[in-house]
Amino acid sequence: MDLPLDIGSIKGFLADDEADALYRAALDRSQHGPVLEIGSYCGKSTVVLGHACRQHNSVLYAVDHHRGSEEHQKGELFHDPELYNEAEAQFDSFGEFRRNMAKADLHDTVVPIVSSSDVASRHWQTPLSMVFIDGGHSLEAALSDYRCWAGHIQRGGILAIHDLFDEPENGGQAPIAIFRLAVASGLFQPVERVSSLALLKRL
């Protein structure tokens, strides 16, 4: 994976082996259609997926309201004061995201959609070769992301879900709940598990 920007310099929570798996999946699938990610934050996964898409002159839709998930808010565990706009009294990662897209030269590949996931999906018509879910980690948010976007994945396409933890003491259970829901639906088959990332194939 030869990226135009060191992703270690980008704020985010994606491990190197997870980044490699995402890149390989997007490199394969982006020749069949566009890719979409939910939860861009500052763009770490966006650079990985976007660079893969660029190899096939494809597009990555990056969906994020950039106001932070529950855990990013002031006083919460993963709050970053550098991303908090004191004048507006709100979290805002979009400026940092845009700077990282510029550094990675991905403006012609990445299409930022600054919106909540459910609003962005309301009139969506484009089939997707791959969807990466890494948005809000409440059960309500994770279920909404899955229900809004899983149906847009092409047959043979990939559903990737981040932050899967089998045991509650290791992390929140919403992502693994939608992983299990996807498997139980009979529409998706697990194909790879790397650290806290799962890749499933649309049957």
Rounded CA separation 62/13 (Å):
16
Output the furthest CA–CA distance in the chain (Å, rounded): 48
Q: Within a domain: residue 18?
A: yes
C-alpha to C-alpha distances, 26 to 72, 144, 170, nearest whole angstrom? 27, 23, 28
pLDDT in tens, 43-65: 999 999 999 999 999 999 999 99
Q: Within a domain: residue 121?
A: yes
Rounded CA separation 125/144 (Å):
17
Rounded CA separation 95/97 (Å):
5
- The per-residue DSSP string of 150-184 comes to GGGEEEEEEEEE----SSGGGS-SHHHHHHHHHHH
Q: Within a domain: residue 29?
A: yes
Structural domain span for residue 105? 7-202
Q: Which of 65, 66, 137, 162 is catalytic?
A: 137
Whether residue 89 is predicted with pLDDT greater than 60 in this model: the reply is no
> For the stretch 74-91, what's the b/e string if a residue is b when 16 or more beta carbons lie within 10 angstroms of its beta carbon?
eeeeeeeeebbeeeeeeb
Rounded CA separation 162/143 (Å):
13
pLDDT in tens, 155-174: 999 999 999 998 877 777 99
Q: What is the pLDDT of residue 23?
A: 97
More confident residue, 87 or 164: 164
- 27 pLDDT band, cuts 50/70/90, is very high
Is 56 a catalytic site residue? no
Give how many domains the chain has, as a whole number.
Answer: 1
Q: Within a domain: residue 16?
A: yes
> For the stretch 9-36, what's the b/e string if a residue is b when 16 or more beta carbons lie within 10 angstroms of its beta carbon?
ebebebeeebbebbbbbbbebbebbbbb
Which CATH number fits the domain that encloses residue 149? 3.40.50.150
Q: Within a domain: residue 1?
A: no
